[in-house]
C-alpha cells in the first residue's frame, strides 16, 4: 500500500491512518515536492517515519492498493498507471467522481482517462457499499458532497425534495496546504468568508448523487470558510414536495441510518467538535412549522469522513476487512 | 448621557464609543453587578475611567439621553423611568423592536410597557432616519435583523421576494458576557454550532421590517456560532418572484445604498474581517444562473453595526449631529 | 474501574481513554453535578455511553481501580474511601503530590488524609516506574511539573542546575470546565495572559522532584494562558553550574530518554501541535553560546500527558499491562 | 507623505493610520508587488482608497516625509534616496536600529548606507524624544525591543540588572504577510511554537539600548509564536544586583512612566487584549520573595506600538504635532 501525494493534508492523514491500521501495511509515501524529507518531519504529529519519495511506479514492485491524493487532472494518469500495475486505488481527486462525462468536462475540461470510469465506484460508503467492495477504483467524494448527500439522502429517496439550499461552512484545512490569503491566520482568523458564489464545482456531484436516489433537481450550494482547523457543517434548507410531520421525518432518518456505524442521527443540533478527528457524520433533521421547510444539519470532519478516513473506510470494504477497522 | 447596563459587551462598547465621542458627554455607567468596580478594570481595552454604579435615576439629575442595555423585559421599565425624567433613550433590548404587540407577546410574554411603543422608532438607521431623528425611544435592532434586512431591503422594495432562506453565522461575542458551554474557548473553539433550530426570536423582527417594505412572507432563519470574537455574516438565498438579471440586481443595490455612509455595496464576497470594529455593513448580491436564485451576502460586526455603534449612529441623528460623528 | 469526577475535562478524557482501552473495563462515571445525564451528551466527542451517577461507594461493589478527578482537598477523602474498598487509585488532584507534608500545608492548608501519603507514589511515569507499579495510590503530577521536570531531569541528575527560570504557556483547557473571564472565547481569545505572578502552587512540586534528583534550588516559575484549547510549552532557562558543550547536552538528553516510549528528544524546537491529543512529551535542549545558558523546551498536551493519558500510562504500570496500551 | 512598502502588514497599517490622521496627508502608497491594485482591495478593513504604485521617487515631487516598510537591507538604499529628495523618514526595518556598525554587520552583513547612521535617531519614543524630534531618519524599533526595553528601562537606569531572561510571545501577524507553515491557520492554529532558539537578531538591539541606560549585560531572549493575530507579551525575569523591595519597584516604574501618554503601569498582570489595536504599552512589575527575582510583564500590540503606530507617534514628534495626535 502506498499513498501517492502524501505531502498535502489529505494524503498525510491517509498515510497516518494507514500506518497505524492493523491490517494494511504502508510501504511508501510519495510527493511531488519535499522529496527526501521524512513525513514525520513535515507532519510531526502523524508520526509516520517514512521518507517522501518521488513516485516511481516501477520501483514499487507488486502493489495491491494505493491512495492517490493529487490535484484534479493530475490524478487520473497516475490512477491509470497504478491500475496498469494491478493496484486497486482510492482516488481523492474529483477526476472520477462524476459518472457523467459531459458534466465532468463542463467543469474540469477534457477527461485524462475516461475509459477508467467504467471500473469506478463512487465512494460515499453508506450509499454505494456493494459497488465499492468490488471496484478497482473508488472515487472518494468531496467533503461537501459527503456532508450534503448524507444529509439529504433520506429525503431524496422518499421523493420529498422540491427545492434545496445548502449553506456549508468549513475550517481552513479545507483549503489544503496552500499558502495564501485564505489560509494566513492573520487574514483567515477572526473572519467568516463566503467563496465561489454562484459557481461551485461541488454542485454537479451533489446533484448527480441525489439524482441516483430519485431526486432530479438543481441545488443551491454555497461554501464559507470559518476560522478553525478541521470541521464542516452543511446546513440544508429543504422545501418539501408535501408537508412532512416530525414523526415521519424522524422515522426517515433513523430508518436510513440505524445500522450505520459512522452516521449518528441526533436530536440536538450537531457541532463539528462532536465529530472532530473521527469518521462520524452527525445528522439532525427538523421540520419548521413556521415555514413548512425541513432543516437538516450535517456535521463531519472535512479531513476525516470528508476525505481521508472515508478513504480508509472504503479500503476496508475493498479488502473485506471490517468496515470500522482502524477507525474507532 | 448614561449607559445603563454597561457591564455586558454591548453596554461596555456603547460606553467606550460615547466616552471618546466628540459631542456626547458620558456621565455615568450603571450595572446590576460589578457595582463599585471601574469599567476600565472590567474592560481594560475600552479605557472608560468611570465607576460602575447602581442605577439610581434620581441621582442622575437632568438627563438628556441614555443607552439601555438590559435583558429583554427588564429593559422596558427602565426605559419608562428614564423617559419619565425626560431622557431620550436608545434601547438595545428586544422590548420595543416589534411594532405589533401581539407578535411581541407571542415570543416574549406580556409587554411591560406597551404604551411606550407609540413614541418609539425602529433603529435600523438606513431605513428609518426620519422617525429616529424625532423619536423619544429608539429600539435598536438585533444584529441578525440588521444584517438581514439591509441585505434584503432592495429586493423587498422591488417586490422580488418570493421565498427567503437566511443562514446567519456569528462570533461568540453574540452570546454576550455569559459563561457557559457556548462561550468556553475549549468548547466553542474549533466548533461550528447551529442553535435555536426552527425557533428563532429574530424571525418576526425581520418579517415585520420586510413587510413594511412591501414583502409579506415567512422567512426561514437559522443562526450558527463560529469560533471568532466579533463578526456576523448573513447569507440570504432568495427565490425571486421573477428572473432578475445581474445588471438589474446591481442597480437595485447601488441605487439603494449609493449615498449611505455605512453601507458598502461590493463586487466580491465580503468577509466579516472587512468590517471588524466598524459601523460598516458590506453587501454583495449575485444572481445564480444555475438555479435562478439570488444570493445576498451581508457582513457586519455584530457588536458594532449590529448593536452598539448603530446606537451611536442613531443618537447622532436624534441630537442632530453628523451621522458619522465619532464612528469613523 | 470507575472515574470519579468525570464531568470535568480531565475526568471526561480519562473516561474516554478507559472506555476504549483494550484491557480496562470502565463500569461507572460519577459527578457532583450533571447526575443522570449521559457522559456522551455532555462530551459528545468522547462517545462514552454511560450515565453520570452520584458517587455511591457501596453501590460499586468490588472495585479494583479508580481514577479520581476532584478539586484539591475534596479528593483525599474520596481516595481514602476508595482505598478502604480495596481499589487502587490514580488521583488527579494535588492532594498527594507533595511528599513533604509541611510543604502541602503551606500551600493548601491542613491535609485531609495524611496517613495515605505512605502508600502513594508520584506519578511522573518516566521517573518513578518502580514505585508506581506497586503503589496503591498514584498522585498524578500537575501538567506544569510534568513538562518542567521532564525538561530538567537530565540536567538535575548531572548536577548542572544553578538557576532555573521556567516560563510556561498553556491552552485554555488548563483552566478546566470553569466558566469565567479566563475561559470566555471573547475574552481569552486574541489574548496572552500571565497569571499567578510570583505565587504559583506548582513551584513546590517542581522543586521537590528536582530535589529528589539532587538539585536543591528555588525555581522561578511563571504561567501564561494562550488562546488555544489543548497544549502546553515549558520554556526553561538554565544557568548551569559550569559550561555545557552542545555534544554533552545532546548526550545527556538522548541518554536519559533513548528508551522512553513517550519522550521524544528532538533537534528542532517543538510545537505543542506536534503532541496534540497524544501522551508524548517532546524535549529540545540547546546551549546558548551568547549567554552560556541552557535552554530546554518541553511540549505536551496538558490534558493528555499533562493529566489524563499519563493517568492511563500509570494504570498500565500498576496492573502490569504494556505501558503504551491504549495510548498509541 | 508616502508609505513605501504598503503591501505588508506594517506598511498597510501605517497607511491606514496616516490616511485618517488629522494633520498628515497621505499622498501615495507604493509596493514591490500588487502594483495597480487598490490598497483597500488588498486590505479592505483599512479603507485607504489609493492605488499601489511602483516607487518612483521622481514622480512624487517634493516630499516632506515618508514611512519605509521594506525588508532589511532593501530599506537603506530607499531611505537614502528619499533623504536625497529632502524627505524625513521613519524606517521600519532593522537597517538603522543599531548605532554600532560592527554589531549590524555581524548580524546582517555589510551595511548599504552606513553614512546615514549619523542623522538617525532610535525611535523608541519614550526614551529618545529629543533626538527623534530633530532627526532626519528615525529607526523604528523592532516590536520585541519595544516591549522589552520599556519593561526593563527603569531597572537598567537604576543599575539593578544583573541577569535578564526575556521570554516573548507574539501573535502570527509578527510573521508578516508571508505565506508558509508558520502562518497557515491549520498549522499555526492550536500551536505554541518557539523559534530562533539561541540565535535571535533582536538581542543586540535590546542590549544596545539597555547599555545606553547604563546596563551592560548579555540578555537571554527567546521568541514564541502563539495562535492569535495581533499581540505581544514580553515576560522578563530579572536577577537584580541587590534585593528590591516592592515599594521601591513600584516607585521606579511609576516614576519613569507617570507622565507617559502611552505607557500604563498597572497592578494586575496585563493581557495583550488590553492593548489590542492601540499604541499603549502596559507594564507590570513584581518582586518574587521566593527567588529574589523581579518579574516584569510588558504587553503591546506588535503591529501598533510594536511597529506602525509608534511610527506615527514618532512622526508627530518630528513634525511638532501633539504626540498623541491620530492615535487615541
Q: Which residues of B touch D270 (CB under 8 A)?
A: 44
Residue B267: CB atoms within 10 Å: 8
Taking 90 as the threshold, does the pLDDT of residue B61 lie above it?
no
The 8-class DSSP code of residue D198 comes to: T
The one catalytic residue among B3, B14, B143, B153 = B143
The C residues from 269 to 328 touching D (CB cutoff 8 Å) are: 269-273, 276, 284, 286-291, 293, 295, 297, 299
* Mean pLDDT of the region B148-155: 98
Per-residue cell: D187: 498549522
Residue D220: the pLDDT is 97
E strand or H helix at D206, and its extent? helix D202-212
Q: Which residues of B touch C183 (CB under 8 A)?
A: 179, 183-186
Alpha-carbon distances of C80 from B243, C7, C96, rounded to whole Å: 76, 21, 11
A168 phi, psi to nearest 5 deg:
-110, 140
Per-residue cell: A62: 507488486
Q: Find the CB nearest D273 among C169, C191, C295.
A: C191
Q: A13-58, pLDDT tens digit by residue? A: 999 999 999 999 999 999 999 999 999 999 999 999 999 999 987 7
Task: Report CB contact under 8 Å: A271, C44.
Answer: yes
Residue C105: the pLDDT is 92
Burial (CB count within 10 angstroms: exposed 0-12, middle 13-18, buried 19+), residue D110: exposed
Residue D58: the pLDDT is 77
Give residue C28's pLDDT band: very low, low, confident or very high (50, 70, 90). Answer: very high
D179 phi, psi to nearest 5 deg:
-120, 100
Which residues, listed in sequence order, are joined to residue B225 by a DSSP beta bridge? B170, B193
The SS3 assignment for A295 reads strand
Alpha-carbon distances of A186 from B288, D171, D180, D224, D229, rounded to whole Å: 31, 8, 12, 16, 5
Q: Which residues of A touch D180 (CB under 8 A)?
A: 179
Give residue C253's pLDDT band: very low, low, confident or very high (50, 70, 90). Answer: very high
Task: Report CB contact under 8 Å: C45, A20.
Answer: no
Mean predicted lDDT score pLDDT of chain C = 96
Task: Report CB contact under 8 Å: C275, A45.
Answer: yes
D143 is known as an active-site residue:
yes
| DSSP letter for each residue of C41-93 | HHSGGG----BEE---GGGG-S-SEEEE---TTTHHHHHHHHHHTT-EEEE-S
Q: Which residues of A touch C190 (CB under 8 A)?
A: 190
> Is the model's pTM score more than 0.80?
yes
Alpha-carbon distances of C162 from B96, C152, D137, D324, rounded to whole Å: 68, 12, 45, 46
E strand or H helix at A138, and its extent? strand A137-139
Which residues, listed in sequence order, are joined to residue D180 by a DSSP beta bridge? none
The one catalytic residue among D143, D156, D233, D234 = D143
Q: D186-195, pLDDT tens digit by residue? A: 999 999 999 9
The 8-class DSSP code of residue D131 comes to: H
Taking 90 as the threshold, does the pLDDT of residue D199 lie above it?
no
Q: How far is A213 from chain D (nearest CA, A)?
A: 36
Q: Which residues of A touch C275 (CB under 8 A)?
A: 45
* Mean pLDDT of the region C120-143: 98
Residue B64: CB atoms within 10 Å: 14
**Nearest one of B191, B187, B150 to B306, comparing CA atoms:** B150
Q: Touching check for D200 and chain C: CB below 8 Å? A: no
Taking 90 as the threshold, does the pLDDT of residue D198 lie above it?
no
Alpha-carbon distances of A36 from A30, A33, A51, A54, rounded to whole Å: 10, 9, 6, 8
Q: Please answer whether residues A302 and A170 qualify as being in contact, where contact means their C-beta atoms are separated by less than 8 angstroms.
A: yes
Q: Distance (Å, rounded) from C-alpha C25 to C-alpha C15?
A: 10
Residue D261: CB atoms within 10 Å: 16
List of chains touching D (3+ CB pairs within 8 A): A, B, C
Alpha-carbon distances of D227 from C226, D182, D224, D306, rounded to whole Å: 8, 10, 10, 18
Q: Distance (Å, rounded) from C-alpha B92 to C-alpha B75?
A: 8
Axis crossing angle, helix A143-157 with helix A246-257, rounded to the nearest 10: 120
Q: Which residues of C touch D224 (CB under 8 A)?
A: 169, 233, 235
Which residues, listed in sequence order, are joined to residue D239 by a DSSP beta bridge? D163
Query: For every one of its 328 residues, what pLDDT tens digit does chain A have, with 9 covering 90 and above?
Result: 999 999 999 999 999 999 999 999 999 999 999 999 999 999 999 999 999 999 987 776 779 999 999 999 999 999 999 999 999 999 999 999 999 999 999 988 999 999 999 999 999 999 999 999 999 999 999 999 999 999 999 999 999 999 999 999 999 999 999 999 999 999 999 999 999 998 777 899 999 999 999 999 999 999 999 999 999 999 999 999 999 999 999 999 999 999 999 999 999 999 999 999 999 999 999 999 999 999 999 999 999 999 999 999 999 999 999 999 999 9
Q: Please answer whether residues B153 and B285 qualify as being in contact, where contact means their C-beta atoms are separated by less than 8 angstroms.
A: no
Percent of chain C whose pLDDT exceeds 70: 99
E strand or H helix at B13, and its extent? helix B9-19
Q: Find the CB nearest D297 among C194, C230, C299.
A: C194
Mean predicted lDDT score pLDDT of chain A = 96
Per-residue cell: D198: 539561541
B308 phi, psi to nearest 5 deg:
-80, -40
User: Could you tell me where the DSSP H helices lie in chain C?
Assistant: 9-19, 39-42, 75-84, 101-108, 129-134, 143-157, 185-188, 202-212, 246-257, 309-318
Q: How far is D300 from chain C (nearest CA, A)?
A: 10
The predicted complex's ipTM stands at 0.97
Nearest CA in chain D to A188: D185
Per-residue cell: A113: 482517462
Distance of CA B285 to the CA centre of its chain: 21
Q: Touching check for C225 and chain B: CB below 8 Å? A: no
Q: Distance (Å, rounded) from C-alpha B298 to C-alpha B239?
A: 17
Q: Which residues of C touch D193 (CB under 8 A)?
A: 269, 271-273
Per-residue cell: C155: 540536567
List of chains touching A (3+ CB pairs within 8 A): B, C, D
Q: Which residues of A83-118 are buried (b: 16+ CB within 10 A; e: fewer)?
A: beeebbbbbbbbbbbbbeeebbeebbeebbbeebbe
The SS3 assignment for A241 reads coil
Which of C17, C44, C324 to probe by mutation at the A interface, max A CB count within 10 Å? C44
User: Could you tell me where the DSSP H helices lie in B67-161?
Assistant: 75-84, 101-108, 129-134, 143-157
Taking 80 as the threshold, does the pLDDT of residue B200 lie above it?
no
**Between C302 and C200, where is the model more confident?**
C302
Task: Report CB contact under 8 Å: A45, C273.
Answer: yes
Q: Touching check for B80 and chain C: CB below 8 Å? A: no
Q: Touching check for C227 and chain B: CB below 8 Å? A: yes
Q: Please answer whether residues C208 and C99 qualify as being in contact, where contact means their C-beta atoms are separated by less than 8 angstroms.
A: yes
Residue D314: the pLDDT is 98
CA atoms within 13 A on the CB side of B222: 31
The 8-class DSSP code of residue C100 comes to: -
Distance of CA A192 to the CA centre of its chain: 22
Amino acid at each position: 500500500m502506498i499513498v501517492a501525494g502524501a505531502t498535502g493534508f489529505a494524503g498525510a492523514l491517509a498515510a497516518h491512518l494507514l500506518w497505524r491500521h492493523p491490517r494494511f501495511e504502508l510501504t511508501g509515501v510519495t510527493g511531488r515536492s519535499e522529496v527526501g524529507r521524512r513525513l514525520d518531519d513535515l507532519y510531526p504529529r502523524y508520526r509516520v517515519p517514512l521518507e517522501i519519495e518521488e513516485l516511481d511506479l516501477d520501483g514499487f514492485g507488486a502493489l495491491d492498493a494505493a491512495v492517490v491524493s493529487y490535484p484534479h487532472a493530475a490524478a487520473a494518469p497516475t490512477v491509470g498507471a497504478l491500475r496498469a500495475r494491478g493496484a486497486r486505488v482510492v482516488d481523492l481527486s474529483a477526476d472520477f467522481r462524476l459518472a457523467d462525462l459531459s458534466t465532468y468536462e463542463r467543469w474540469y475540461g477534457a477527461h485524462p482517462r475516461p475509459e477508467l470510469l467504467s471500473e469506478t465506484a463512487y465512494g460515499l460508503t453508506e450509499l454505494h457499499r456493494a459497488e465499492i467492495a468490488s471496484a478497482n477504483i473508488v472515487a472518494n467524494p468531496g467533503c461537501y458532497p459527503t456532508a450534503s448527500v448524507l444529509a439529504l439522502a433520506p429525503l431524496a429517496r422518499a421523493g420529498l425534495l422540491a427545492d434545496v439550499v445548502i449553506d456549508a461552512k468549513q475550517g481552513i484545512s479545507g483549503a489544503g496546504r496552500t499558502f495564501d490569503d485564505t489560509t494566513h491566520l492573520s487574514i483567515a482568523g477572526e473572519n467568516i468568508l463566503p467563496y465561489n458564489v454562484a459557481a461551485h464545482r461541488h454542485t454537479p456531484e451533489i446533484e448527480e448523487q441525489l439524482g441516483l436516489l430519485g431526486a432530479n433537481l438543481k441545488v443551491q450550494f454555497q461554501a464559507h470558510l470559518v476560522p478553525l482547523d478541521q470541521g464542516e457543517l452543511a446546513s440544508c434548507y429543504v422545501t418539501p414536495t408535501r408537508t412532512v410531520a416530525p414523526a415521519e421525518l424522524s422515522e426517515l432518518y433513523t430508518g436510513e441510518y440505524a445500522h450505520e456505524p459512522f452516521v449518528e442521527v441526533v436530536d440536538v443540533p450537531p457541532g463539528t467538535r462532536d465529530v472532530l478527528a473521527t469518521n462520524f457524520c452527525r445528522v439532525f433533521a427538523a421540520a419548521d412549522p413556521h415555514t413548512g421547510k425541513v432543516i437538516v444539519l450535517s456535521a463531519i470532519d472535512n479531513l476525516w469522513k470528508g476525505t481521508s478516513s472515508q478513504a480508509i473506510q472504503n479500503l476496508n470494504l475493498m479488502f473485506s476487512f471490517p468496515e470500522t477497522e482502524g477507525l474507532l
